[in-house]
Amino acid sequence: MGTLNVLLVDDHGPLRKALYEGLEATREVHVLGEAATGREAVARALELDVDVILMDVQLRDPREGRRALSGVGAAVAIRRERPRMPVVFYSIQDDDEYYREFRASGILTHYAYVRKSNYLLPSMLVPLLRDAVSGRSLVDPEIEDRVQEVRDLDEQSPRALLEPNELRVAELMAQGMTNEQIATRLNLHDKRAVSRTNGRIYAAWGLSENAVDDKVARARATLIYMLNRMVMWDEEGVALVQDRRGEWVPLYKEEN
């Protein structure tokens, strides 16, 4: 993997400058853009072609006060247009509010959540940035219990395997909307974001592993969403679900 293009987001000017210089000095990272607030982070992320975002969780904005968008909130907004954009969060705060927000955000993959005091040296950040880009996730062991609920989502319903933005697209897809109609309903700037989100939905539900076209995957995704049960299809196209014993059985019984 070559040089990483990074968006750096921190409301503290001197720290942002130090991080910029330290990351550039590694020669493994190029800071393609900077932002000081959550709103600026969203705008810059949609303007620039970055590989990963390095972002403080607590982002103050004097103009917005309590309504300021946090790092977690900014990541959720960015992922509406750039599905599962890799993000490395860091924070010196130990406020339950941020951990609750992170759990509620539904962010499942391509992230790290670490403390400034533990990981903020450039030499330690670069591996985290690369891991996030590669799809690996990490939570600082000191705060792992705070976000354990997110890890537990994999054992829950198919809908719980999707991030909020993906779940909204799946809901509208199940209503029979086209990609263009979904993009209009969600007021997306880039209409292609829906197609990218569809791909994430198919991957999360194991539909992309099968050699099926988009129309078939779309129909199968709709069925999974409506049933909120994981469904798999055999080579003959028969829909299967797990029974109470964990065995895969036909979803529909054939009539004699």
pLDDT digits (tens, 9 = 90+) for 10-44: 999 999 999 999 999 999 999 999 999 999 999 99
Percentage of the chain surpassing pLDDT 90? 52
Percentage of the chain surpassing pLDDT 70? 89
d(CA 16, CA 21) in angstroms, rounded, equals 9
Average pLDDT over residues 107-128: 88
Residue 97 banded pLDDT, cuts 50, 70, 90: confident
d(CA 251, CA 113) in angstroms, rounded, equals 40
Strand order in the sheet with 232-233: 232-233, 239-242, 248-250
All structural domains of the chain, each given as residue ranges with its CATH number in brackets, are 4-154 (3.40.50.2300), 157-250 (1.10.10.10)
Question: Count of residues for the chain?
Answer: 256
Average pLDDT over residues 242-256: 73
At 91 the pLDDT is 86
Residue type, 133: V
Q: CB under 8 Å to 71, separation ≥6 — which residues? A: 9, 38, 41, 55, 56, 57, 58, 59, 89, 91
H or E element that contains 8: strand 4-9
d(CA 216, CA 183) in angstroms, rounded, equals 21
**This model's pTM is above 0.75:** no
At 120 the pLDDT is 87
Q: Which two tokens stand for residue 12?
A: 């503290």
pLDDT digits (tens, 9 = 90+) for 202-227: 999 988 866 678 889 999 999 999 98
pLDDT at 184 over 50: yes
Answer whether 85's CB lies under 8 Å from 76's CB: no
pLDDT at 147 over 60: no
Residue 254 has what DSSP assignment?
Answer: P
